[in-house]
Amino acid sequence: MSSARPQGHPALATEAVARRLKKRYAAERRFKGACITALSLALLFLVLLFANIAVKGYTAFEQTYIGLDIRFDPQTLDPTGERDPEVLRQANYNTLVRDALTDLFPEATGRSERRELAGLVSNGAAFQLQDMVENNPSLIGLSRRVWLIASDDADMLRKGNISRDVPEEQRRLSDRQIAWMESLEAQGRVEMRFHRLFFVNGDSREPELAGIRGAVLGSFYTMLVTLALSLPLGVAAAIYLEEFAPQNRWTDLIEVNINNLAAVPSIVFGLLGLALFLNVLGLPRSAPLVGGIVLSLMTLPVVIIAARAALRSIPPSISEAAYGLGASRMQVMFHHRLPLALPGILTGTILGMARALGETAPLLMIGMVAFIVDVPKGIFDPATVLPVQVYLWADSPERAFVEKTSAAILVLLAFLILMNLAAVLLRRKTERQW
């Protein structure tokens, strides 16, 4: 650079150049620093997001249990002594829990005090006892220590999410209840256990009883429908466009269409589902069938684009060899190109399915947000899916739902990571240099 300049005093010129060079190098460092900062910021967000969810969610896999000495009182459970299953089912198991609690804390006498005392144990405790008695009627008349699910508030206290320093009227547990919990703990009657119910229960209004099984199965059925529709249709479309379509305006239109469809906001697909599938075709609301159809329309462009790329990457020499041996176009496609392109197609499909699995907005439109306790048994049953469950729980006011939501997110992310891992492995395993 300096050689292009008119030379004055040589020493002065080099000095000026050196000064300018210093400045330019500083600018260089600043720019590089800005670039590094940007990248680290983006990665920092990623770490923050994961850490935040993990820290909030991991406690949900444990649940507080309270050990109570339950007297399986024959008078309450089976007054006639006939062990009739119907009578056993109808008996009032809540009384057993309440009696056990009153035995422990005889000082709780007033109505409201007793209600507060019973509020430490979940409503689900009665079902626990019912199951025990139905499986083993010989328990009646005996006394046993049973570990019962604590209520969400007691659970939150134990996990440190309810602060003892807040004034009484601002927390969900009274001073009395906290004192009882502390005394239970001192007697070794409070324990943390693995929260199996979170994985085997459907949704519930009670956070300690709410589980993700219904949502997981709902997601499974929805994905089943999506896969069954988008894979064959996507592959068919890709084959046609790659191999058979004439080059004309009509096929151009189809191609432009597919590219634009990939960029349509997901919620618009939900509107389509509502207007067309629910209102015009009269398909059932909230069903995985409709959810799966809507999501498959969204996934279709992804599958088509991936399948076309995979088909195109198969070298022409293979088709030419097959043609040379007298194969027809269909034979070349279905006997040679498609099988060779299949790993690539599947990789694209898995990635598309992973995106569909995380999709929420279109499913809100077609009624998959309903509160559904029952675990769905097929594609026609009302159901919800994992991301919608996350949305529903995130909206619930109870503090205990925060950790449930985070835990559900962790499960969802685990599924997504598994699917992406499968796609990466599949790609690596079948990658071939032609």
Partner 1 sequence: MSTLLILAILLALSTFAYQTGRRRALSLVGHAKELPALPGYYGSYVLLWVLLPALVVLGAWLVLQPRIIERGVVAQLPAEVRELPENRLGLYLNDVRNLAEGNVVSREADPELERAAENWARLESRGRSARGAFVLLLAVAGFTLAVRAIDRRLRAMHRVEKALEILLALGSLIAVFTTLGIVLSLVFEAWRFFQRVPVTDFLFGLEWSPQTALRADQVGSSGAFGAVPLFVGTAQISGIAMLVAAPIGLLSALYMSEYAAPRVRSTAKPLLEVLAGIPTVVYGFFAALTVAPWIRSVGESVGLDVASESALAAGAVMGVMIIPFVSSLSDDVIRAVPKALREASLGLGATKAETVRNVVFPAALPGIVGGLLLAVSRAIGETMIVVMAAGLAANLTLNPFEAVTTVTVQIVTLLIGDQEFDSAKTLAAFALGLVLFLVTLGLNIVALHVVRKYREQYE
Does 259 engage in binding with partner 1 (CB under 8 A)?
yes
Does 355 engage in binding with partner 1 (CB under 8 A)?
yes
Question: In the complex with partner 1, which residue's Cβ is closer, 21 or 200?
Answer: 21
Which one of 106-114, 125-133, 147-155, 406-414 is the stretch in contact with partner 1 (CB under 8 A)?
406-414
Contact string (CB under 8 A) for partner 1, positions 263-302, x = contact: xxxxxxx-xx-xxx--x-xx--------------x--xx-
Min dist CB 393 to partner 1, Å, is 9
Rule CB under 8 A: choose which of 240, 320, 339, 377 binds partner 1. Answer: 240
Does 14 engage in binding with partner 1 (CB under 8 A)?
no
Backbone phi, psi, residue 40, to 5°: -65, -35
Rule CB under 8 A: choose which of 19, 22, 24, 377 binds partner 1. Answer: 24
Rule CB under 8 A: choose which of 12, 16, 18, 34 binds partner 1. Answer: 34
Does 42 engage in binding with partner 1 (CB under 8 A)?
yes
Min dist CB 52 to partner 1, Å, is 6
Residues 51-90 that bind partner 1 (CB under 8 A): 52-53, 56
Which one of 35-43, 64-72, 130-138, 425-433 is the stretch in contact with partner 1 (CB under 8 A)?
35-43
Rule CB under 8 A: choose which of 124, 292, 391, 400 binds partner 1. Answer: 391
Min dist CB 130 to partner 1, Å, is 23
Min dist CB 95 to partner 1, Å, is 29
Question: In the complex with partner 1, which residue's Cβ is closer, 34 or 166?
Answer: 34
Does 360 engage in binding with partner 1 (CB under 8 A)?
yes
Does 232 engage in binding with partner 1 (CB under 8 A)?
yes
Does 394 engage in binding with partner 1 (CB under 8 A)?
yes
Residues 311-340 that bind partner 1 (CB under 8 A): 328-330
Rule CB under 8 A: choose which of 12, 179, 200, 253 binds partner 1. Answer: 253
Does 37 engage in binding with partner 1 (CB under 8 A)?
yes
